[in-house]
Amino acid sequence: MSFINYSSREINCKLVYYGPGLGGKTTNLQFIYAKTSPEAKGKMISLATETERTLFFDFLPLSLGEIRGFKTRFHLYTVPGQVFYDASRKLILKGVDGVVFVADSQIERMEANIESMENLRQNLAEQGYNLDKLPFVIQYNKRDLPNIATVAELHDALNPNNVPEFEARATTGVGVFETLKAIAKAVLTELRRGSGG
């Protein structure tokens, strides 16, 4: 849940990167961390296994600048993608303001994408959120790999509501900031709308 501090004049929001295991959620955050100036970012934390799979979450605090004299800070989280970490995923969704779904474009991961999308919808519902009403964007990652589904196929399978979607290659950064900007903008717009503005 966003936090507005009228004393320190800050707006804080929570973004969660969701999606199937090995889809590139952590890579998105790593690229953002690497390409952001030191004064705009905090330390990136990764709670990972010995084999560098996300165990609980990755965390990256980012400052995007000021709106009307209020600093806007975004806390970026990833969830562990592996199916058996579902309890952890539910916890990380608590208080979420916006979701990025990082889909793996490879044909063999299509089923994992669909399963993860259903899991997202269900876990959000358990926290009292409706995915259709939450700021939400989809990223089709790994567009550089062979044997990938077309964007039209991915769209048909994952994006029935036509939310903003982006092609990406997170290892080289293609599409990473476009995705981040789109979700951050959607969150701020929704915050304003929710306040009656």
List interacting residues with other proteins (CB under 8 A).
1-8, 11-12, 14, 42-43, 45, 47, 56-57, 59, 61, 64-65, 67-68, 70, 72, 75, 87-88, 90-92, 94-95, 128-129, 133-134, 181, 184-185, 188-189, 191-192, 194-197
Q: Which of residues 62 and 154 has its CB atom nearest to other proteins in the complex?
A: 62
Q: Which of residues 50 and 126 has its CB atom nearest to other proteins in the complex?
A: 126
Q: Which of residues 105 and 179 has its CB atom nearest to other proteins in the complex?
A: 179
Residues with Cβ < 8 Å from 169, sequence gap 6 or more?
141, 142, 143, 144, 175
Structure tokens that stand for 4 in this block:
């507005």
